[in-house]
Homo-oligomer: A and B are copies of this chain.
Amino acid sequence: MTNGGRAQQKEQTRRTLIREARRLFATLGYGAVGLSEIVGAAGVTKGALYHHFDGKAALFRAVLEEVQQQVARTVAAAGDARDDPWEQFTAGCRAFLTAATDPDVQRIMLVDGPAVLGWNEWRALDEAASARHLAEALTTLIEEGVIARQPVEPLTRLLSGAMNEAALWLAGSEDPGALAGVWAPLSQMLEALRVR
């Protein structure tokens, strides 16, 4: 029972490692999870881990990439479902808020991510995964004259920061109406960008 070629097995091991690491990082946090815990859960040894990744931080990086891409897909899908550029934009923002409320995303993407990788590398990943979409949406809105012509990057940072923090706060809040509570002032601030 060969159960697939060597390359398939390799990929399977890699994915198992990422999956178990993601689960543990999300529930316990990067610092509280040992490599032994990860490899134990994955049913392999540290040798396998170091064969696939350069170390603990590199494994975390792979996990973070997966999480960010998952969020980005959700957001992009929500945006693509609309036709009007402005509605694409706002729908994407709302989708991000709900997507980032997931505890996995919380801990890995917003809490440990910047601390483990540093803001520079974190931003590079965030840029590639989701902030780029935000910046593109804003650029489109500027091109179409929906919002005033202005530098995109500072605006992207402000909105990204506001929504990250909002998502973090949402996750900690037990009030089911919290999403609406944040969305009200956020949409108000978004509306402020529209040319009148």
Contact = CB atoms under 8 A, between A and B. Distances in A.
Interface in A108-163: 111-112, 114-116, 118-120, 123, 150-151, 153-155, 157-163
| Copies of the chain in the assembly | 2
A188 interface: yes
Contact of A182 (B116, B157, B178): B157
A70 to B, nearest CB: 21
Q: Interface on chain A toward B: helix, strand, loop, or mixed SS?
A: helix
A29 to B, nearest CB: 8
A41 interface: no
Interface stretch (A72-80, A83-91, A165-173): A165-173
Interface of A: 29-31, 111-112, 114-116, 118-120, 123, 150-151, 153-155, 157-166, 168-169, 172, 178, 181-182, 184-186, 188-189, 191-193
